[in-house]
Structure 1
């Protein structure tokens, strides 16, 4: 229920048990939309996520001249490539995949494409991808800010070629150029120079999806990706469930000693959320996967952990919430890049957990969490869906916790409030 302050997080009355089916992966959905938009024919996408981030991606591509239509049942989306052209206006909202993946495609359009987004989106650094596109021959006007708003002035083609960038802030900088690179005249020879690129599974996802569509990608040399020029084959695609969005539901079993099954968990996947199997095992839970899905059983004890989350940073808020109920301190490492996500997630987690009586400290690259009894209060989400997920997990065991702006979960899982209430209740 909602109050004038926020959404009252459901309190668990005992071990949480149940079965959950989560919608399609946002990461796969938006990559599939991008690739289908510049493919050599129409593609049919089933199980595509219907959420704010995918709606923004669809609108962006349609504004560029791509045809996108839903089947009568809504189960399948057909993407028909068109002649990319401006003028066009792209609303990125707060979606990293839109603000990073669409500009390299817009560069292929004939005309001017303007990009803007939510107020906080204007604070997110874009200079790396904009600078790389300039190196590849694209005309961009960002008034020297390296941030939105900016315009991409396309001529219908992109020279491409070799470019070096520092992608230590986000793997999306690399994925963005890989996804469109095959359509550039010389392809893309992309080299990373800097600290390790975070979220390696998301890079693996981009490469795998390109290869499925017949694109030649050579990633045999560390920190280098070479995409050969050529067509992107149209491919009908079934979108996997979003494993990252499964995190709070499985976490509910861990901290309450319950048992939760997420149906349809793939046997093989490039989604970073698959690492939840190991992460929750290290917290002390029992984890098993069958043809039915993934089941997590809490054992009544939550152990403190020391985790390198550099590949799965998006899971950090929910993992931090689980760690708040452990029997000892936890250390979450390798996530300095979260300071440039939907919000500064490290600062936000420290602030909100400590406001409830917690003991959380930022480090250079992560968080130290020392469990303490928590009290109720209003938990700020900072327009960040993962912060809302973390708050919901805390609320299972904390009386009187309210979540500010639960509607922010519509970014990737509009059904979250109903699914959560059904499970917790």
Structure 2
């Protein structure tokens, strides 16, 4: 069955809007895991409500925690962990964060997911748990690792494990989040090339420490000492990566978009989008007293091509690539070979879809070279990838007749994106 095509609205004039974005998915799901492992109840305020976070909450409930929801507030009371069936959808955080939690349960935990999740690398998570003393049974097919089972005996020895996390920082974060509950804690040593999205590991370490866990962090080595995880009140920052398409709208239309409550300091990789926009010629200002981030594009949406190492901010690549496609001059985005193992092969998808609208795009070993050409309308395929969908919406602002396939896939991290987008365009 063909997915519905959404006519991306064209901006008839420079966009001018204030856009509030919901809470960070990355922070919400880490807080939920820590709350389920804590020594008492926790409250997660300002949480993102989306498919990914609902899947995490449902999974933790299935494992034995009590999770209640009121608007954007989760209340979590830990319980005895037991066997369950976990539906992961397309959520990498559920796929990589919960197997170590399952190793602490009494009983068998079955992990299933959407078909598209089969493309996401899982071997490092499963082999690291096996090395730490867990009983893991995979499908036997490395190309299709799901479903798999983790059979827990109520605890895990833990200790030191050497892994190659060059495909995903989530391999490290998943072990660290549960590590305080392992008998010997956990020491994770990364042995491969540079870890992508390293700020997400820093986010994990910061949140563990906020929950009273002792963590030693060195270059490519992290030790979580055994001990209790404190129940606490978590306040979730806005999701800065989800804000980027709206800020990009200001840049491509020569308009102004304001996002309230932008944190002064943060471990979210999305904060780097401010610097990228400035490099491309937009004016970016965070108002200290109000906390509003304001982006104003150059007249006519004029943008300059860039050369950027996207390794630590790979999740921003689809939006940045969309900006590069309408900029002046060549752009080179590199350090992102790991994007071939995301929801889809994002490098191949971007090359295919940008080329389909008329842009010159070449894949390199670890990135994309983008040579802008006048764009034309067409179908923008999303591959069940929420960030591909929002990138198509950005291009549609300045390119008539862009039809985004399956805009509903944005519900993975940003429900009602299409409504929010249309309201922004219409003012």
- TM-score, length of structure 1 as denominator length: 0.97
Residue of structure 1 equivalent to 2:49: 50
- In the TM superposition, what are the counterparts of 1:304-383 in structure 2 within 5 Å? 304-383=305-384
Residue of structure 2 equivalent to 1:10: 9
Matched, 1:227 2:224: yes
Matched, 1:84 2:81: yes
- Measured in 1, the distance between the counterparts of 2:69 and 2:55 equals 15
**Local SS of the residue matching 1:208:** helix
**Local SS of the residue matching 2:257:** strand
Superposed CA offset, 1:320-374 (max 9, x none): 0001111101000111000000000000000011011111111100000001011
| 8 Å CA contact retained: 1:178, 1:188 | yes
Residue of structure 1 equivalent to 2:235: 238
| 8 Å CA contact retained: 1:5, 1:402 | no
Query: Comparing 250-259 with 121-130, which one deviates more in the overlay?
Result: 121-130
| 8 Å CA contact retained: 2:55, 2:89 | yes
RMSD: 1.1
| 8 Å CA contact retained: 1:100, 1:176 | yes
Matched, 1:93 2:84: no
| 8 Å CA contact retained: 2:17, 2:258 | yes
Residue of structure 2 equivalent to 1:201: 199
Q: 1:5, CA displacement in angstroms? A: 5.1
Q: 1:143, CA displacement in angstroms? A: 3.4
> Structure 1: where are the runs of 5+ without partners?
none
| 8 Å CA contact retained: 1:43, 1:79 | yes
- In the TM superposition, what are the counterparts of 1:15-34 in structure 2 within 5 Å? 15-34=14-33
CA gap of 1:5–1:183, structure 2 versus 1, over 3 A, is closer
Residue of structure 1 equivalent to 2:252: 255
Residue of structure 2 equivalent to 1:281: 278
| 8 Å CA contact retained: 1:182, 1:227 | yes
- Measured in 2, the distance between the counterparts of 1:344 and 1:122 equals 12
- Measured in 2, the distance between the counterparts of 1:119 and 1:353 equals 25
Residue of structure 2 equivalent to 1:136: 132
The structure 2 residue matched to 1:158, chosen from 147, 151, 156, is 156
Number of residue pairs matched by the alignment: 419
> Structure 2: where are the runs of 5+ without partners?
none
- TM-score, length of structure 2 as denominator length: 0.97
- Measured in 1, the distance between the counterparts of 2:146 and 2:4 equals 32
- In the TM superposition, what are the counterparts of 1:394-413 in structure 2 within 5 Å? 394-413=395-414
**Local SS of the residue matching 1:246:** helix
Q: 1:189, CA displacement in angstroms? A: 1.1
Q: 1:299, CA displacement in angstroms? A: 1.2
Q: 1:56, CA displacement in angstroms? A: 0.5
| 8 Å CA contact retained: 1:122, 1:149 | no
**Local SS of the residue matching 2:298:** coil
**Local SS of the residue matching 2:266:** coil
Q: 1:70, CA displacement in angstroms? A: 2.1
CA gap of 1:169–1:4, structure 2 versus 1, over 3 A, is closer
- Measured in 2, the distance between the counterparts of 1:321 and 1:12 equals 16
Superposed CA offset, 1:160-202 (max 9, x none): 0010000000000000000000000000011000110010110
Residue of structure 1 equivalent to 2:171: 173
CA gap of 1:120–1:75, structure 2 versus 1, over 3 A, is closer
- Measured in 2, the distance between the counterparts of 1:128 and 1:355 equals 35
**Local SS of the residue matching 1:421:** helix
Moved over 2 A (4+): 143-146
**Local SS of the residue matching 2:340:** helix
**Local SS of the residue matching 2:241:** coil
| 8 Å CA contact retained: 2:330, 2:369 | yes
| 8 Å CA contact retained: 1:115, 1:149 | yes
The structure 2 residue matched to 1:114, chosen from 110, 114, 121, is 110
| 8 Å CA contact retained: 1:89, 1:114 | yes
| 8 Å CA contact retained: 1:261, 1:296 | yes
Residue of structure 2 equivalent to 1:268: 265
Q: 1:75, CA displacement in angstroms? A: 4.2
CA gap of 1:316–1:190, structure 2 versus 1, over 3 A, is same
CA gap of 1:366–1:334, structure 2 versus 1, over 3 A, is same
- Measured in 2, the distance between the counterparts of 1:329 and 1:252 equals 20
| 8 Å CA contact retained: 1:356, 1:377 | yes
Superposed CA offset, 1:127-148 (max 9, x none): 1010000000000110333411
